[in-house]
Structure 1
Amino acid sequence: MWSVPVRLSAGPRRGLSFIAGSQKSKGLDDNTRRRRREGQVRGFDEVPHSGSNGWINLIRFWREDRFRSLHKHMERTFNTLGPIYRERLGSHESVNILLPADIGEVLRSEGLHPRRMTLRPWAIHRETRQHCKGVFLKNGTEWHADRVLLNREVMVSSSVHQFVPLMEEVAKDFCSLLRRKVEMGGHGDNRRSLTLDPSPDLFRFALEASCHVLYGERMGLFASPPSLEAQRFIWAVEQMLATTQPLLYLPVGLMHRLHTPLWIQHVTAWDHIFSDAEARIQRGCQRLQSRKPSGAKGELSGNQGHSGGVLGRLMEKGQLSLELIKANITELMAGGVDTTAIPLQFALYELARNPGVQERVRRQARESWTRAEGDPVKALQGAPLLKGTIKETLRLYPVGIMVQRYPVTDIVLQNYHIPAGTLVQACLYPLGRSKEVFQDPNRFEPARWVKPKSGQLEANGEEEVRAETGPGAGFRSLAFGFGARQCVGRRIAENEMQLLLLHILLNFQLSAPSSADIETKYSFILQPETPPLITFCLL
């Protein structure tokens, strides 16, 4: 793969000099300015890089298919150049960092309205189709105004808890479907176990749960066979993600004007996603109108608010225009399928090949479920290892492999001056597997994210992995982003995944025909090269 040697130059270049005297610094304190004058802080042009010509780098990436293994490329480059490096790909330039202390410095410098790189392919689609943009594609005060209103419905715990019964209904239906499959096609004693690839059903679960929460309606995806409508939507999301990655580094405006095949594939996928969302939003509006008492204005009566999903809550409040509601609901729906289903694939496989971990998580989940007496919110709150399982899965297999920010002031990282406005990327895949950051990083251990209570440590015959606490701990788990700009669907996704794991562990014993590491590929999100097989045995 590395047939073309990477240029490991860190020498100064005239065109990008930010050393003292060449550009006025903004935001550096007096001590740092003094250190720069004395040569103790190195200039931006001295940051190690993997090649100064962005277009040659891009051609090399295409020729060697490095985009498909971008996460591995980052890991190798950090191993070669150290914990900070600059990379140019076409017209795109970034500073990539690895260590929690540096990530914390960047995130503390993000400003009141954190900004990340605009996905131009998505933005041009919205502009040419005259769709409003959701918060994912906005920056500045416009982003902030919309995000505050969305947070009240999808990020505040009390609001999200109202939707947990909708998610749990789908999780239970998934387990019922899986149980039927085991009973009909199982093997072993009394046909109680079945080995299969669960990924198609996990995608259906993610789509069904997202639809139920966002629109307040079921899609009926656990029917056999699944509807053509659902299969088309999943195809559209996968096509959109697969075509996004190559378009990021190409002149997308030109691709649009020339109607290139890649651009046509991309916009066709988005058009289908928006068409599906439009139909569901129209049905949701009709249901909400029919539920209101004649002549009533304002809130829905009784407990009807959550039955209309997030759509119903936003329309009830009336603080966002219908077009903005459509834009944000569509983004949430498109972003809630693969990014939920794929981590669940990894989580189930890791639990299957780590039976001791699986049993500890199951024991805690079962005890919590009993204490909660069927209340799903209380059951999740009493089983922190379920949340730890998700965090540990995303440490090893982050769906999005970068967190991006543009610092609003000059900062110093690894003793290099980074000017305000520079795109800085925290690289999550190499972060999660770094021995400098994590104890025994290749070991799957959800307990590393759970601070043990006094007297509750278990003797399991293995050396305990310390809890992830202390300096920098807040910047070690960033799969959902950070702060005001973190993933707007985070709380929904966390609850969906934890509820499904809860009910799977209550009903099935998991094992893996192979314990080999999963080979991964990057197609705008990290996913398995081949979905792993898992054996489900009825309990």
Structure 2
Amino acid sequence: NGPEWRFNRTRLNPDVLSPKAAQKYIPMVDMVARDFSQALKKKVLQNTRRSLTLNIQPSIFHYAIEASTLALFGERLGLVGHNPNPASLNFIHALDAMFKSTVRLMFMPRSLSRWTSSKTWEEHFEAWDYIFQYADNRIQKIYQELALSRPKHYSGIVAELLLHADLSPDAIKANAIELTAGSVDTTAVPLIMTLFELARNPDLQQALCQESLAAQANITDNPQRAMVELPLLRAALKETLRLYPVGASLERLLSSDMVLQNYHIPAGTLVQVFLYSLGRNPAAFPRPERYDPQRWLEVKGSSTSFRHLAFGFGVRQCLGRRLAEVEMLLLLHHVLKNFLVETLNQEDVGMVYRFVLTPGTVPLLTFRAIN
């Protein structure tokens, strides 16, 4: 909060959140998305039936980490279609341990946690130590490379921040870690749930496949075109985040008094908007139980901007929003033009709170290669 937060944020936005910044790292993410699709296709074609049924969650998680790490640090981890190095696997384990321990500690009173959660605290600190050390090693490597010569080509978000020198190295490291740690579940869960919903809605999946095939040539020549050539797919991602928001709520502290539905709310009050309830409210979304991306394309006189709040809004919207949107859009583009996705599970999937909202049971998906 305050001047320090605003100072850091205004200097991060141009290299992280702006559409101009996204144009630079889109080719990096596209490379990882292509590798993911090719690796999956290789596994599928090893089957004589040209299909594969699996829990796709681990592979999607690896993709999210690989894509965000490449965009941030300009470095491949080998998690998608390659042999991962031990440091990459340890980093994944540290992230997993950090998230699990955070959930256990978040709601434990401090007076009790000292006596009942010492092992959890130890796991939590060890995980964060490894995450910070991992990020610090990569930032130091980039810093040393920049000291030798200025790069001729774009080499990632962190390199850009170090070149501009508007932020301290510690501030850059802290934000890079937050973006890396925060880009896993928040990208992977919407991807899994989008694939599940498309498997339950084959006609919609076919329409998205046709959209991706029609745009294929332009996106191959210029991956940045994906952001404008795939309107139905972008709408599908909005629809997924309406039904399955990763963040349970948005919070804001009121800067001034206000009256809301005849209630006087004084300045300084914490106001929460529960996104899961909002997305399933028929007053805001007719037939809310129906997965219908067209609702985001058929705007009739009223804006949808304050109905799509999965990434927040205004100056405090999610810093990694653009990177997450790019990662989700490009992966789905490459998957949908290469595979037919099916599921035997036609029942709704319940979400559970594990620091973020995640599926209680990850549905099995079948991928069939498209000729």
Q: TM-score, normalised by structure 2?
A: 0.94
Residue 193 of structure 1: CA displacement? Answer: 1.2
1:404 to 2:251 alignment? yes
Distance 1:330 1:392 in 2: 29
Report the equivalent of 1:193: 51
Deviation at 1:416, TM superposition (A): 1.1
Q: Does 1:487 align with 2:345?
A: no
Q: More helix per residue: 1 or 2?
A: 2
> Does residue 355 in structure 1 map to residue 202 in structure 2?
yes
How much does 1:317 deviate? 0.4
Where do 1:66-85 residues align within 5 Å?
none
CA distance in 1, matches of 2:245, 2:122: 29
Cα distance, 1:388 vs. partner?
1.0
CA distance in 2 between counterparts of 1:172 and 1:273 reads: 27
Q: Deviations over 1:258-281 (max 9, x none)?
A: 972332232222122112111221
Contact 1:199 1:341 (8 Å CA) reproduced = yes
Q: 1:342 to 1:469 in 2, by over 3 A?
A: farther
Q: Secondary structure at the match of 1:426?
A: strand
Equivalences for 1:523-534 in 2 at 5 Å?
523-534=354-365
Deviation at 1:252, TM superposition (A): 4.0
Q: Tell me what 2:97 maps to.
A: 239
Identity %: 43
Q: Distance in 2 between matches of 1:256 and 1:269?
A: 18
Match of 1:287 in 2: 145
Counterpart mapping for 1:500-519 below 5 A: 500-519=331-350
Deviations 1:299-358 (A, max 9, x none): x353x2x22x11110011011111111111111111111211111111111111111111
Residue 380 of structure 1 contacts residue 386 of structure 1 at CA under 8 Å; is this kept in 2? no
Question: Structure 2: 5+ residue runs without aligned partners?
Answer: none
Deviations 1:440-459 (A, max 9, x none): 111111221124xxxxxxxx
Shift of 1:481: 0.7
Letter in 1 for 2:230: A
The one-letter code of the counterpart of 2:352 is: K
SS at match of 1:403: strand
Letter in 1 for 2:29: M
Q: Distance in 1 between matches of 2:261 and 2:312?
A: 22
1:202-245 deviation line (CA, Å, top 9, x unaligned): 11100100110000010111256644433332232232223323
Alpha-carbon spacing, 1:182–1:427, altered in 2? closer, same or farther (3 Å): same
Is 2:77 aligned against 1:219? yes
1:158: how far off?
Answer: 1.2
Question: What is the rounded CA distance, in whole Å, between the counterparts of 1:171 and 1:183 in structure 2?
Answer: 18
- 1:138-287 matches, within 5 Å, as 139-184=1-46, 186-188=47-49, 192-223=50-81, 226-252=84-110, 255=113, 260-287=118-145
Change (3 A) 1:349 1:209: same
**C-alpha distance after superposition, 1:462-501 (max 9, x if no partner):** xxxxx48616x32211110111000000001101110000
Deviations along 1:53-83, one digit per CA (max 9) or x if unpaired, are xxxxxxxxxxxxxxxxxxxxxxxxxxxxxxx
Q: Which amino acid aligns with 1:238?
A: D
Give, in angstroms, the shift of residue 164 of structure 1: 0.5
Task: Measure, in 2, the Cα distance between the counterparts of 1:321 and 1:394.
Answer: 34
Matches for 1:4-83 after TM superposition, within 5 Å: none
Given that 2:32 and 2:80 are in contact with CA atoms closer than 8 Å, whether structure 1 keeps it comes out as no
Quote the Cα distance in structure 1 between the aligned partners of 2:19 and 2:110. 39
Q: Which moved more, 1:147-156 or 1:242-251?
A: 242-251
Measure, in 2, the Cα distance between the counterparts of 1:449 and 1:368. Answer: 20
Q: Which has the larger radius of gyration?
A: 1
Cα 1:211–1:355 shift into 2, 3 Å: same
The match for 1:470 is: 302
Letter of the structure 1 residue corresponding to residue 234 of structure 2: K
SS in 2 for 1:162: helix
